[in-house]
Amino acid sequence: MSTNKTKSILLKTAKYLGITFVVIIGLLFLTPIIFADKIKEQIKKTANEKLTAELNYSDVSVSFFQHFPSLTLTLSDLSLNGSAPYTSEKFITAKEVSFGIDVASLVFSKEVKIDQIYLSDSFINVKVNAKGEANYNVYKSSANATDPKDSTDADASLKLEKIEILNSKIIYDDLSTKIHFDAFGFNYLGKGDLTKAVFDLYSKAKIEKLNIVYEGEPYLMNKKIDADLITKVNVNSLSFYFQQNNLKINQLLVDFKGKFDFLKDGYNMDFVIKSDNSKLYDVFTAFPPKYITWLSKTELKGNTNLLLTLKGNYIASQNIAPDLDLDVKIDSGFVNYNKSAFPVSNLNLEVKTKVPSLNPDLVIVDAKNLSLNINKDYLKSKFYVEGINTPNINADFKAKIDLEKLTKALGIPAIVLKGNLEGDAKANGKFDLKNKLFPVTNGTINLENGYLKTPYYPNPITNIIIKSTINNQKGTFDDLKVSLKPTQFTFEGKPVFVEADLSNFNDLTYDIKAKGELDINKIYKVFSQKGLDLDGFVKADLVLKGKQSDAEKGRYSKLYNKGTLELRNIGITSEYLPKKFIIKEGIFKINQDKMSFNNFLAAYGESDFKMNGYLQNVFNYVTTNTGVLRGSFKATSRYINVDEFMSNTPANTSVTQTKTETPAPQTAAKTGVIIIPTNLNLQFTANAQKVNFDKLNLLNAVGNLNMNKGKLSMQNTGFNLIGCNVGMNANYQAITPQKANFDFSIKAEDFDIKKAYNEIEVFRKMASAAEKAQGIVSVDYQLKGRLNGNMDPVYPSLTGGGTLSVKDVKVRGLKMFNAVSKATNSESMQNPDLSKVDIKTTIKNNIMTVERFKFKFSGFRPRIEGTTSLDGKLNLKMRLGLPPLGIFGIPLTVTGTQDNPKIKLGRKGEDLEETKDSE
């Protein structure tokens, strides 16, 4: 072939190729322009029809060059709000969201098919509230999605084959499961035939930083994740089956399989997470960050096997939770922190943990092996525990180990612990306090040359010696024997010695010797925790020997209890009291079962006490739940604030709400009633200069108080209230922390009404009509009923009765008398003056019944009887006797309320109401 002909062919080929290239380039530019409006319109229409949430974006572009060779629709600065109840908060924001479009569908189909999605620089913010309501339910499913005839009706459809997410952030915050995780630097590539209802999704994911927090506790922080996943997705049922998933958490390789289904009110889970034959060092790289510093200085060797399963439904609203199993195994472990001369070797651990329904009360921990060596020293243990409240226990513990070498090899921070620990103990059986069961036990635990120093206090506890034995062959409380001979330590240069033999815990037989001085404030700082504090000083020189039953039955000659116990600034807390009871100064002298004290000074909040007397059955009370503390003493006080003794248990708890939720209406917080412990039998003779109780200020309060079986009785109690001497007897008993019963009788003479109304809140509530009255009254009344959680009377529960005597009383501006004056044209009825009247009343079912009483003033002789409710409603009958002798009178009935009384004359008279002119 000639050179010219060859050149001609090449030129023609180049020409056609050039034309073809130009046409292709032209089509690449023209196709997006030609179909841009159609694509934009159909995407907008689809968004409106298929999304339940608000979608916004700043610009739309169509191009072949964004993700060549795919034709892509790109939405810039996209934001998609969440579904209810998060409709005003962003669910997804992204710098760009691109949709790959099937070009053939533009030309040959009525619908635009989207087969690829790309997200870049996005933020996916998933939220689930405490009720299980999530913000991701933004896609509106078709009512007839399963009907194939409907498949061609849509103008645009998702036929996904590829999902790619670049440089994004995901936050998942689920209040129902209390799980929170953050993923930063998230990159994801997913491929599969997403056009099917059931398809396999092949995924690769990388996360630069992953944080996982459960119930506020961080489990993974700043972890790097590399995952290769195969997931079977069922679109119709919203379920995910993880078939083959290889994860790498920092350096730990994990295999993850399972299933996850979305339910109406929760989830169904079936997860299996395992790591077989991993290196111990690699496991610790996946631990929380506080261990990383320790890891950098520690030589770790050994193999581990981990298995975590989580299976079952999680429905928060029905308190349904899945079962959790966790198996951990370590073989031939080696730990050496900071090049210790005595490393831990032969570290072996095999623990299986089961938590059915995520309920701690049902937990089962089976530790088949926990063992290690430090040279010839050893620790060997195994235990099985089933349950929390009444656990079944099977444990075996053997140890001969130098604690200083162990703590240095493990790198336990900030604590110096020394001493030679030797132990050999076995236990098998049930611990059940109610049924007096204790595991069959036999063992000894001894510590020699002990030493403890923490960073919270500069000086250590030294010379610690513990020699203990425990024995129980029958598995019952009556066969339990505990011996401490001796236990001693030295703190701040002062030694403390304790020896004890305890046996038969059904009828405790004890032999205890204690001697030493202890500054509780300083020794507590050795174990101090932020936010807690404890004060006090104890000096003891005691010998206690006897039997519980002898103390209970008063056989004191069989006891040998002698010695002294000195207390100063001791803080005592109790479940019954919201504040700390502080013993400022007190010396107890112990003789047999009686503990006497003189000039015992104490304080509780603002209250102060000085006491003399004795306590009895103290040892039985302290060591058992059934022991009753008996005693009798005199107490004097300058000031007692009874309100401070009220229980502060909240009546209801609040749940953290999201910003978009409407908070549920809350009831007023209840402080709780005063609870008298049932295991007290105490007699007080009390004298207090001032007592504050429910906004009442009582002066010179004296009386006899008895506490017995949870009931408080006050006999011959007297006090001065607003200048009036009051005598009272009362009984009080709490039924629950929010309810109490009471009854009392009260007698008060020459009580100033005006002063009582101004200064006593409870008087204003129960006698609101006294606002316009002045004068002197006397009261002789009995009342019983119930108190609520604020120590306020529950009015419908009140029953009782008595006499109210009035003299020299003037009533001014009372609307009922003004209305009567208006109805009868008697101006003197507006402001009656009462010389002396005895008014007898009874109270029941929120109604006060007023017996008939008469009085006279200005020539008139009124007679009144009827009822009035404690909330102010009136139902009274009156007869207004006319001057001069009241032989003739006008019958009236008074109904309505104290603020708006309605008056009727005669039996069929007209309703008359007070006008403004009569006020």
Q: For 261-273, write each residue's pLDDT tens digit.
A: 888 778 888 888 8
Tell me the C-alpha distance between 349 and 346, whole Å.
Answer: 10
Terminal Cα-to-Cα distance of the chain (whole angstroms): 131
Task: Give Cα separations from 525 to 419, 460, 540 (angstroms).
Answer: 21, 11, 21
Q: Give residue 553's pLDDT band: very low, low, confident or very high (50, 70, 90).
A: confident
* Poorest-pLDDT segment among 204-213, 289-298, 545-554, 812-821: 812-821
Q: Which pLDDT score, from 0 to 100, does residue 480 have?
A: 94
Cα 511 from Cα 85, distance rounded (Å) = 66
The whole-number pLDDT of residue 667 equals 44
Q: Give the C-alpha separation, 605 to 830, whole Å.
A: 50
| Banded model confidence at residue 150, pLDDT cuts 50, 70, 90 | very low
Q: What is the pLDDT of residue 649?
A: 42
DSSP state of 456: T
Interatomic CA distance for residues 235 and 198, integer angstroms: 6
Specify the residue for token string 């950098």: 296
Higher-pLDDT residue of 145 and 137 is: 137
- The answer to whether residue 227 scores a pLDDT higher than 90 is no
Write out the two tokens for 51. 């999304």
- Asked whether the beta carbons of 451 and 485 are under 8 A apart, the reply is no
CB within 8 Å of 552: residues ≥ 6 apart: 617, 620, 627
**Cβ distance 675 to 576 under 8 Å?**
yes
* The pair of three-digit structure tokens given for residue 384, joined into one six-digit string: 């099985």
Which helix H or strand E contains 434, and what residues bound it? none
State yes or no: pLDDT of 503 exceeds 90: yes
790 has a pLDDT exceeding 60: yes
Mean pLDDT is lowest, of 566-570, 683-687, 800-804, for 566-570
Residue 331: band (very low, low, confident or very high) from pLDDT cuts 50, 70, 90: very high
pLDDT at res. 549: 83
More confident residue, 526 or 788: 788
CB 260 within 8 A of CB 238: no
Average pLDDT, the chain: 77
Q: How many Å apart are CA 392 and CA 116, to the nearest integer?
A: 58
Tell me what pLDDT residue 371 has.
94
H or E element in which residue 769 lies: none
Residue type for position 304: T
What backbone phi and psi angles, to 5 degrees, belong to 689? Answer: -65, -35
Whole-angstrom CA distances from 796 to 785, 799, 844 are 8, 8, 7
Most confident of 493-507, 688-702, 832-846: 493-507
What's the pLDDT at 615?
Answer: 83
H or E stretch at 289: none
* 447, pLDDT greater than 90: yes
Q: For residues 285 and 251, give the distance between their C-alpha atoms in angstroms, rounded to a whole number.
A: 6
Q: Please give the pLDDT value at position 472.
A: 94
User: Closest Cα partner for 164 from 228, 226, 119, 97?
Assistant: 119
The confidence score (pLDDT) of residue 838 equals 82
> What is the band of 381 on the pLDDT scale with cuts at 50, 70, 90?
very high
Given the DSSP bridges, would you call strands 55-56 and 494-503 parallel, antiparallel or unpaired?
A: unpaired
Largest Cα separation within the chain, whole Å, is 157
Q: Using alpha carbons only, give the angle 312, 318, 319 rounded to the nearest 5 degrees.
A: 65
How many other CB atoms are found less than 10 A from the CB of residue 302? 20
At 386, the pLDDT band (50, 70, 90 cuts) reads very high
Residue 362 has pLDDT above 80, yes or no: yes
| pLDDT at site 424 | 96
pLDDT tens digit sequence for 176-197:
878 888 889 989 888 877 667 7
Whether 251 and 287 have beta carbons less than 8 Å apart is answered as no
756 vs 896, higher pLDDT = 896
Gap between the Cα atoms of 382 and 371, Å rounded: 9
Mean pLDDT of 861-878: 82
The Cα–Cα gap between 675 and 159 comes to: 68
For 831, residues 6+ apart whose C-beta sits below 8 A from its C-beta are 810, 811, 812, 813, 817
Residue 340, pLDDT above cutoff 70: yes
Q: What is the pLDDT of residue 623?
A: 66
The CA angle 322-323-329, to the nearest 5 degrees, is: 140
pLDDT band at 663 (very low <50, low <70, confident <90, very high): very low
The Cα 385–Cα 428 span in angstroms is 10
pLDDT at 554: 73
- For the cut 50, the answer to whether the pLDDT of residue 658 exceeds it is no
Compare 705 and 347 and report the one with higher pLDDT: 347
> Which whole number is the average pLDDT over 668-673?
63
Tell me 37's DSSP state.
H
More confident residue, 480 or 900: 480
What mean pLDDT is predicted for residues 593-607?
80
Q: How many CB atoms lie within 10 A of CB 78?
A: 19
DSSP lists the bridge partners of residue 517 as 539
Weakest mean pLDDT among 386-400, 430-444, 724-738, 881-895:
881-895
Q: Which residues pair with 806 in a beta bridge?
A: 777, 837
So what's the pLDDT on residue 329?
A: 93
- Is the pLDDT confidence value at 750 over 90? no
pLDDT in tens, 22-76: 444 444 445 555 555 655 666 666 666 667 778 888 877 776 545 545 667 788 8
